[in-house]
Structure 1
Amino acid sequence: MGKEVYRCIECSDKASELYRDYNNGILKITICESCQKPVDKYIEYDPVIILIDAILCKTQAFRHILFNTSLNIHWKLCAFCLLCEAYLRWSALHGSEQSGDPADIIRYTKEWEFYVMFGLAALELAAFCGGALLFLWLWVGALQGGSVQLGPLLRALLLSCYGKVLLVPVVIWEHEYSLFCLGLIKLFVLTSNSQAIRVILNSCRRLSVAAVVFGFLSETLVARACQQLPCSI
């Protein structure tokens, strides 16, 4: 562990280790030299507590996940979220044809329109991430002369889209407030995206919000352009 670089979840200062092993099962959490607080208290916490703090968009929880863990499920999570969004769009397109039969999901996968919806969702996500990353690269890299590592930022953006999983219960528990729920989910995802950018860059909130807004505008423009296509569903 000594060669890896971690981050203090309180002040974001670098640390060489999270804890020290004194053998015989004796572990001592490393204290940050900058803020004199534990580098990462979450290594002793249950994953459920960490998830709850992440849902609450706590900066410490985001730093723990993005810097001090080897969580590399962002591409799998991205694919699952895209499937959820494609299923939601499919169900909205064929709402009157739905039934309570669980075998319907198998029928959906045989329909070409389902894959078209998946492609559109993937294109919009790519536009969002590309727009946000382009804004950060131009603002931080070109205008301020700083360095931007796009890889960690992309990983953070994809991981912070975990809120899209909530699209599934919205479809299952269909009611008249579905549009309101979808709006809340979108707001939650954008808030998580902003917090993830802020944690990675250790920047002010205004910069992360501006990047998310730019990405959202890019996503909206791509969605509108796709709707104008002659072959659009």
Structure 2
Amino acid sequence: MKYRCVECGFGIKTLFVQYSPGNIRLMKCENCKAVADEYIECERMIILIDLILHKPKAYRHLLHNVLNQGTVKLEGLLWKSTIIFLLLDAYRSLLLQRNEEEQSSSLSFSSLVWRSQQIFLDVLVGNLIFLCVFLLAIRILLNTSVGFSRCGNLLLSILVSSYLKIFLVAMMVWEFPSSVIFIIDLFVLSSNVVALKGQIPSIYFP
């Protein structure tokens, strides 16, 4: 199946039938009998608001019906999302160390290299541990093995649902206390959970 119902995650061949330009009829899901994807008629701002409000339906629409293999190259999107994700994580580590750098009188070249290596290790080890715990939790909680393609879809769900990390860029312009970083981390983690919750039905449905 190419698309999925945003209500239950069941596979569906098409989301709407177009009779003429601007005249479409939304298809209903065969499993839950509800409209498969009502977000087709919604503006992007409404979808963005629902994503911020952590609605699983909005994540299913984005991940299955917008970012699917028929419309975008998932491999290229996965690599781009990974690079942006790692850069934002590196900037987060840099922000956490900024207070220590301000307290020191001067920074030598060797200390700068040491801090760069420390940031790189923090980002690499932290994300590696997170992915290992994530895959282990899926295997234990769902009691099922996830194939390579579905594992890639789940990884893309995590990367896309971490969009709230972009708010770290605002700290380049305005000064915020370091506690704001941990608040953003909580929002990102909750967004990851909702996105994964929206992906779970696709593991069982064909």
TM-score range, shorter chain: 0.7 to 0.9
Contact 1:87 1:114 (8 Å CA) reproduced: no
Q: After the TM superposition, which parts of structure 1 deviate over 6 Å for at least 4 consecutive aligned residues?
A: none
Paired residue secondary structure (1:22): strand
From the superposition, tell whether residues 155 and 168 of structure 1 become closer, same or farther in structure 2 (CA, over 3 Å).
same
Give the alignment's TM-score, normalised by structure 1: 0.67
Show the 5 A alignment for 1:74-93. 74-93=78-97
* Residue 136 (structure 1) shift: 1.1
Structure 1: state its 5+ residue gaps. Answer: 99-110, 204-233
Contact 1:32 1:39 (8 Å CA) reproduced: yes
RMSD (Å) for aligned C-alpha atoms: 2.6
Contact 1:82 1:118 (8 Å CA) reproduced: no
The number of aligned residues is 182
Contact 2:6 2:36 (8 Å CA) reproduced: yes
% identical aligned pairs: 34
Structure number with higher relative contact order (C-alpha < 8 Å, ≥ 6 residues apart): 2
Distance in 2 (CA, whole Å) between partners of 1:24 and 1:120 is: 52
Structure 2: state its 5+ residue gaps. Answer: 103-111
Q: Which position in structure 1 is the counterpart of 2:165?
A: 164
Q: Could you list the per-position Cα deviations for residues 167-207 of structure 1 after superposition, in whole angstroms to 9, with x for gaps in the alignment?
A: 221343223x331x11211111111111122111139xxxx
Contact 1:42 1:64 (8 Å CA) reproduced: yes
Contact 2:96 2:178 (8 Å CA) reproduced: no
Distance in 2 (CA, whole Å) between partners of 1:85 and 1:140 is: 29
Distance in 2 (CA, whole Å) between partners of 1:80 and 1:115 is: 19
- Give the one of 119, 122, 130 matched to 1:120: 122
Q: Which position in structure 1 is the counterpart of 2:136?
A: 134
* Residue 95 (structure 1) shift: 4.4
Letter in 1 for 2:127: L
Distance in 2 (CA, whole Å) between partners of 1:187 and 1:78 is: 20
Contact 1:86 1:115 (8 Å CA) reproduced: no
Show the 5 A alignment for 1:174-193. 174-175=175-176, 177-179=177-179, 181-193=180-192
* Residue 138 (structure 1) shift: 3.6
